Amino acid sequence: MTIPSIVSEYLRRKGGQFKARVGVGGDSLHSAITEAKLSPARVAQATVLTTGKSALMIVHPADQEPDAAAVAQMVKRPLSHATLQDLSRLFPDCDPQAIPPLPEAFGLKGIVDPALTEADHVYFSAGRLGVFVRASGADLARLMEGSWVRTVSRRREESAAPAGGDKIEAMRERVRHVHQLPSMPGMAMQILKLRNNPYSHVSELAAIVEQDPSLSAQIIRYASSPFFGYQGRVDSVAMAIARVLGMDFVMDLAFGLSLGKSFRNPTSGPLGLNNFWQHATFTGALTQALCLRIPYMRRPSPGIAYLSGLLHNFGFLLLGHLFPDQFARLNKALAEHPERPITELEHEVLGISHADLGLWLMEAWGMPKEVVDAVHEHHNPAFRSDFAVYANLVYIANALLSRHGIGESETLQIPQQLLDATGLDEIQAEAALGTVLESRESLEFIARKMAA
């Protein structure tokens, strides 16, 4: 496994005694640290904060997290955590989960915790997940020349659980820290890079999808469904892309489904994975079907519409991942009171909504603004903005699906002003629903695969 050239060249230029240690990887920096049997207190981690167009790297022990408020006070500017897109731009040849804590090498200002430079030895990521570099504290200090030396981090345990009146802010703070979230899966990151390549080819996308046999089967099954009306036999991912689904849609489908694999929540109950993925797959399909019935001249992206529908309830997945006890209570409350709106139960049980949790996750992952808005506003029929059509379509899809016992919409009715806003009428909406229900077997197959 090669170290990015910018890292190896920087270490050579600065000089010192450095030794590489290669582990077995993992799906996040912290799992890689565990696999390598390293002490998190002896690992220098990089957290990148942004303000406008500039970025600041905090180098801190991996068992701690930056105190963003303290850093903001120090630099006298508001700060936010870098998104995945920010990290891909700033560190183009590095794994986003394994950013090297070398601010000068990447042209950034830095703040380094003195606990690291004063240690006898430390480890730090070399830019590849599972590859660490061992250095003395003195050598690390030389690598940090030009950075401020300040204690601006705190142990994670201090904000690990919400309590009392600080519940909402504690949840928000925990979600904001990207290193506490499930890492974006490798396949999703590959698709993201492919999406940014204007010369990408069907064969490249097929090769990525075929890394996951389950996902490959789902895409072939979906392309063969009555929803698309293809009369021939679809027997490969490449054929499904080239002849039926198209590059953009398969990118969105594969991207969304691979994101869901970051979370392993309970399977049972109204919010369990079985019901969650049934709702998600049907909503994605119906949101896309509704989109395709909008007049061509004002039609939004069918791929973004599908992704908005698929991801709109990801806040529930994040709730179960970060706060399993609260998730269990909400799941139980909804099972006992299915007649009550989910937003009402959330307010009583959590004091926060799955839409808010979903918003923070989508922002942390650097998702498109259209998807962020849809996730946050899918319960709000009055929402209007430049990208409101996606949230509006998800609302309509949820109402239609609730008529067939799928999902947790608070209403079966579609406000006329919402149909007017999207350019649809009730007949078109019902026709889209009928098309999706014809593909029920294929969609249930995908849902079962995702929940398994």
CATH H-level, domain 1-10+19-26+42-138: superfamily: YbaK/aminoacyl-tRNA synthetase-associated domain (3.90.960.10)
Q: Which two tokens stand for residue 421?
A: 């806003």
CB count in 10 Å sphere of residue 19: 10
- Please give the backbone phi and psi of residue 300, each rounded to the nearest 5 degrees, phi first: -80, -175
Give dist(CA 223, CA 129) in Å, integer: 35
Q: List pLDDT tens digits, range 282-318.
A: 999 999 999 999 999 999 988 889 989 999 999 999 8
State residue 439's pLDDT score.
Answer: 86
Q: What are phi and psi of 408, to 5 degrees?
A: -130, 35
Per CATH, 1-10+19-26+42-138 and 178-182+263-451 having the same topology is answered: no
Measuring CA to CA, how many Å separate 187 from each of 209, 210, 212, 237, 382? 8, 10, 9, 15, 36
Longest Cα–Cα distance in the chain: 72
Element (H, E) at 22: strand 19-22
**What is the dihedral angle through the alpha carbons of 184, 188, 190, 192, rounded to the nearest 10 degrees?**
-100
Mode of pairing for the β-strands spanning 148-149 and 109-112: parallel
Strand spans (E) along 39-198: 43-51, 54-61, 64-66, 80-81, 109-112, 121-125, 131-136, 148-149, 153-155
pLDDT of residue 168: 60
Question: In the chain, what are the domain boundaries?
Answer: 1-10+19-26+42-138, 178-182+263-451
Q: Write the pLDDT tens digit of every residue in 327-372.
A: 999 999 888 887 778 988 888 888 888 998 999 888 877 788 999 9
pLDDT of the residue at 173 = 59
CATH dotted code for 178-182+263-451: 1.10.3210.10
Helices 369-377, 388-402: axis angle to 10 degrees equals: 40
What pLDDT sits at residue 189? 80
Q: Which residues contact 432 (CB under 8 A, 6 or more apart)?
A: 286, 289, 290, 292, 293, 400
Backbone dihedral region for residue 259 (phi beyond 0: left; psi -120 to 50: alpha; all else: beta) = alpha
pLDDT for 174 equals 56
Nearest Cα to 407, choosing from 234, 266, 255, 280? 280
- The rounded average pLDDT for each run of 10 residues, N- to C-terminus, in the chain (452 residues) is 86 88 69 83 91 87 84 81 76 85 93 92 90 92 91 62 51 52 72 80 92 85 82 90 87 81 85 94 94 93 90 93 88 84 86 88 83 94 92 96 84 88 94 92 84 80
In this prediction, residue 294 carries a pLDDT of 95
- Per-residue confidence (pLDDT) for residue 162, from 0 to 100: 42
